[in-house]
Structure 1
Amino acid sequence: MRIGLITDNPGHPLLSATAGLLRAAGHGVELLDPGAPDAALAAPADAYLLKAHTPSGLELARRLERLGAPVVNSAAATTLCQDRTLMAEPAVRAGLPFAVTRTVGALGRWAAGVALDSPVVVKSRHNRREDLVARVEDTVHLGELAQRWPDEPVVVQDFAPNSGWDHKLWAIGDRVFAALRRSELSPEGRGPTLPLSLPDLPEGWADLTRRIGELYSLDVYGVDIIATADGSPLIVDVNAFPGIRDQPGAPEALADLALSRAKG
């Protein structure tokens, strides 16, 4: 089999380990930099892994899909997760516990006409590296943030009191991995990622993660969940093909998934 990796970071630990497993088993691995002018191949590989969320990466994935090549995740599913307004809609329609997400437009314009009486979380509408994610306590803090990001399109979520730790859940096919990470919104800032075994997850959270995959047509994805004050889950983000670093068994699961898709 020939597996293509669409990425501008072929040295990423998950991709590198997966490529090593595939090559050791006798399969071909081809690297496609979506920014390169000759990225699209004349003869498509048997399947592709899309670890690039840039416009050029998504366009390359669409071209390969039109040629009949399987792409994990699809360009459409990946695009959905890049827009936090669209991201919230499938989960809300399905009645899943997703944070209520309001689209307010450019931060500077919205901040000029609002008075906050309770904390909120302000996020860039478009999910990308180094985007804006901030807890805003009051109107003064909001004004300061707006001065730094005046033209940034944002969404707003009410802040839900929680422990300050994010449950990071990742899925590759049907297999779920988990970890704990101190939230970047906590006063102490983001801390290290701590291992978390599936039996230690609250009941039903692994199934909730798999349900997100079904709804969003994702095969490799991450779900950020916080435990609210009463212990119930609240989904705050969904990511297509996240890093899934330092998770034993993740490269093997990804290699198996790629081969399964290549075989049709």
Structure 2
Amino acid sequence: MARVRILLLGGTTEARELAPRLTALGFDVVSSLAGRVAEPVLPAGDVRIGGFGGSAGLAAYLRDEKVDAVVDATHPFAEHISANAYAAARDVGAHHLLLRRPGFILHPEFEVVPDVHHAAAAIEPGAHVFLTIGRQHVAAFAHVDARFLIRAIDPPTVLPHHHVLLLDRGPFALEDEVELMQRHGIDTLVTKDSGGSATAAKLDAAAQLGMRVIVIARPPVPEGADMIGEVEAAVDWAARLL
């Protein structure tokens, strides 16, 4: 009897936790990474790196590789990948699950904006900003009149004129975040509501220091998608396929 094949769209902590759990259940698992990080932390098992060419290309891959189910455990802000995954799975009749970790616990005084452009417009002139949004959308802040401490895994291609670039990967401890913000004279934190424990400490540090916090809200998920928030629940969902 052929093993059930799962395409696990990953790059997140949850995807790396899920891959060996699914393999242990007896699934044939291929983890797919978009390739946007130069040196990604690889999950256990078979790994595919690179895009598919939109929903049509992904659908063709699912057919060609006889994939039975797609588990989308990508970053909460990978909205295009998630939309393509849902559409492709629906087109070929494959099972589909969206694994999205819960968002951050936000203090009432935090300011929530819909996207990076609103976040850039909200920054006060002359502010000292800790920008932790990944590298892809830093260009939206290139012409903002402020000083930036930018933390990312890989260097952005476009940077603001006044900046310090810090290449680092979480998890980050609360005391280290407090020290970092104080050392750089930060008064404003701009971040995404990406959730997860690895980077949550920056929000607690900013609240502790009484600074302004601007949080970019998550994009919507595909309408109709079956979504859960925990790895254990994803394992249970997959087990029912057997």
TM-score by length of 2: 0.42
